[in-house]
Every structure is written in structure tokens, then in C-alpha cells.
């Protein structure tokens, strides 16, 4: 059974077709990167999956349940977790409290006490390597530490599907490598599927994704294993704006 199925999703804004008949299937525990040039429709797709936008046409199926019309807040308890491009911590709360919020509002919502959620928070804080900071105010963390805290909060939601919005943009290569190692470890341990929207962080795509979906002008151009997708002539053409050099 697929974890998530998008069937023929179309989304327009005014006269502009941001997504044109896009279908995608994601299995449990899969690591997928969605890439494409500016305006390709990546963020729109992300917002359709997370429930921020409704599609004009098409269906979204999560574990065989039709969630096309379900609002975002109802999706979290089913097993959706997400990180934001710009982390939005509660700056004056501690790291521990920030992460505990994930446990309270994720798939365990209504099933855990405050004490339980603080315990869950401790587990993920340790996993992302922030133990030494757990009682500090979130506002005092460095940007990379904030991203790791954001990750701990998303994981504390106990998601089956983790949506990462540009989580590695602007990071130092060393930190990207660390994040990639971390996500692989998470996949092994918790069987979480990760869908990562990455703009220009090819290092992360190659290091992380097992599969890449390349978008172009609202359509799915290629959906293949990472090595295949990134050497596909149509993809090279879209990125370089010309056909690939065939003499090589
Ligand atoms: N809320 C909106 N209202 C109107 N047009 C929108 C809206 N959101 C996106 N669009 C348009 O839809 C198209 C796809 O945009 P989207 O943001 O999904 O692309 P993207 O692949 O995320 O691009 P980028 O790499 O620049 O982030 C673009 O032409 C964009 O201008
Ligand atoms: Mg975008």
C-alpha cells in the first residue's frame, strides 16, 4: 500500500497553471527530492500535499483514505510532519518546550500528557544533538541549531511522512552532509518517508534522495532513481536551458 498518492493534480492561480495533471506515489520510508527551476510548481505541490491549498482537479490519497478536501490541521494527526523554510520557533520558550509542541500537535495529539510530550522531546533533542541546549531559550540558538530543533519538533510529531521545505537552503556543505546523514538514520530507525523540496542544493539531492521528481512549468518532467533522473537529457536541458552536449 502506498503511503501517499497524488492523482492527476491540477492547480491554477487566475489563468496560470501552477500544476498541470501531476501524479506521484510515495511508499513508506522513501526518500524523495522534488527539484525544478524557479516557478516549476514545487512549493505549490508542497502546499497541496500539506493541505494549505485544495487542488482544482485530482485526488490525494493517504494510506487509502481520500484526504483531498481535508484541511491541514486534520492531516497532522494522520501522520504528516513538516519543517518550514524559515524556522518559526517560540523564541522565549526553551528548546525542550518547542520540541514538545510537536508531540502535542502531531499524530499523538490528544493521546499524550504534557510530561509525556516533554519526554518525547528529550528523545528527539538527543537524536539531533542539541542536549546541551535543551533548557536554553530557542531564540538564543544559531540558525543551524534552529533548523535541527525544527527537525526535532517535526519528528516529535511522529510523522509517517515528513515534508521538508528548503530545509537545507543556505546551509554550509558540512552541515548539509550532517543533515543528510541524520535523515538517513531517521529513515532506518523510524521508517519515515521524507519529501524534500530542494532548490539548488544538489549536494543534498545526490546525498539523500533515492528518487528524484523533476518538475518543469507545472508538469512532472521526470520521476526516476536519482542517478538516472539527474543525467536525463531533458533534465539537463531544463537546468542549462539548452540541449546537453552530445559529443561527450
Ligand atoms: N498564491 C499564488 N498566487 C498566484 N500565483 C502563484 C501563487 N503561488 C504560486 N504561483 C505561481 O505558480 C507558479 C509555480 O510557483 P511555485 O511557487 O509553486 O514554484 P516553485 O517551483 O516553488 O518556484 P521557486 O523555485 O521560485 O520557489 C509560478 O508561476 C508562481 O508565480
Ligand atoms: Mg518554491
The phi and psi torsions of 237 (rounded to 5 degrees) equal -65, -45
Give the domain extent around 221.
1-63+160-248
For ligand 1, what atom is nearest to the CA of residue 41?
18
Residues making up the chain, counted from first to last: 248
For ligand 1, what atom is nearest to the CA of residue 45?
18
pLDDT over 50 (residue 107)? yes
- The residue that leads in pLDDT, 203 or 235, is 235
User: pLDDT per residue over 153-185, tens digit each?
Assistant: 999 999 999 988 777 777 888 888 888 888 888
Q: 18 C-alpha to center of ligand 1: Å? A: 6
For ligand 1, what atom is nearest to the CA of residue 40?
21
Number of Cβ within 10 Å of residue 137's Cβ equals 16
Q: Cell numbers at residue 172, please?
A: 554550509
Q: Quick one: how many helices (H) and strands (E) in the chain?
A: 9, 10
- The residue that leads in pLDDT, 106 or 21, is 21
∠ CA 63-194-74, rounded to 5°? 50
> Among 199, 121, 115, which residue's Cα sits nearest to residue 154?
121
| Residue with CA nearest ligand 1 atom 8 | 44
Domain CATH code at residue 212: 3.40.50.300
Same domain, residue pair 182 and 234: yes
Which of 9, 38, 44, 50 to probe ligand 1 with, by most ligand atoms within 8 A of CB?
Answer: 44
> What's residue 244's pLDDT?
54
Contact 19, 44 (CB under 8 A): yes
Region 33-51 average pLDDT: 91
User: pLDDT per residue over 66-82, tens digit each?
Assistant: 999 999 888 888 999 88
pLDDT over 90 (residue 90)? no
Final residue of a domain: which of 158, 180, 195? 158
| Cβ < 6 A, ligand 1 pocket | 13, 16, 18, 36, 38-44, 199
The phi and psi torsions of 108 (rounded to 5 degrees) equal -100, 5
Q: Does 11 reside within a domain?
A: yes
| Torsion sign, CA atoms 25, 244, 171, 89 | negative
Is the pTM higher than 0.75? The answer reads yes
Amino acid at each position: 500500500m502506498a503511503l501517499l498518492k497524488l492523482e492527476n493534480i491540477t492547480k491554477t492561480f487566475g489563468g496560470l497553471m501552477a500544476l498541470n495533471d501531476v501524479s506521484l506515489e510515495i511508499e513508506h520510508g522513501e526518500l524523495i527530492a522534488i527539484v525544478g527551476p524557479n516557478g516549476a510548481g514545487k512549493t505549490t505541490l508542497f502546499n497541496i500535499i500539506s493541505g494549505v491549498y485544495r487542488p482544482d482537479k485530482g485526488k490525494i490519497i493517504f494510506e487509502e483514505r481520500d484526504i483531498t478536501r481535508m484541511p491541514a490541521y486534520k492531516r497532522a494527526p494522520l501522520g504528516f510532519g513538516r519543517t518550514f523554510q524559515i524556522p518559526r520557533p517560540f523564541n522565549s520558550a526553551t528548546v525542550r518546550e518547542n520540541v514538545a509542541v510537536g508531540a502535542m500537535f502531531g499524530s499523538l495529539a490528544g493521546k499524550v500528557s504534557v510530561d509525556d510530550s516533554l519526554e518525547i522531546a528529550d528523545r528527539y533533542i538527543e537524536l539531533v544533538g542539541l542536549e546541551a541546549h535543551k533548557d536554553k531559550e530557542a531564540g538564543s540558538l544559531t540558525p543551524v541549531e534552529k533548523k535541527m530543533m525544527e527537525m526535532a519538533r517535526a519528528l516529535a510529531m511522529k510523522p509517517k511522512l515528513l515534508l521538508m521545505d528548503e530545509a537545507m537552503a543556505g546551509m554550509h556543505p558540512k552541515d548539509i552532509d550532517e543533515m543528510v546523514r541524520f535523515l538517513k538514520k531517521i529513515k532506518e530507525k523510524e521508517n519515515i518517508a521524507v519529501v524534500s523540496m530542494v532548490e539548488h542544493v544538489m549536494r543534498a539531492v545526490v546525498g539523500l534522495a533515492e528518487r528524484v521528481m523533476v518538475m518543469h512549468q507545472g508538469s512532472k518532467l521526470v520521476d526516476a532513481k536519482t542517478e538516472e533522473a539527474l543525467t536525463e537529457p531533458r533534465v539537463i536541458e531544463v537546468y542549462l536551458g539548452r540541449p546537453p552536449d552530445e559529443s561527450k
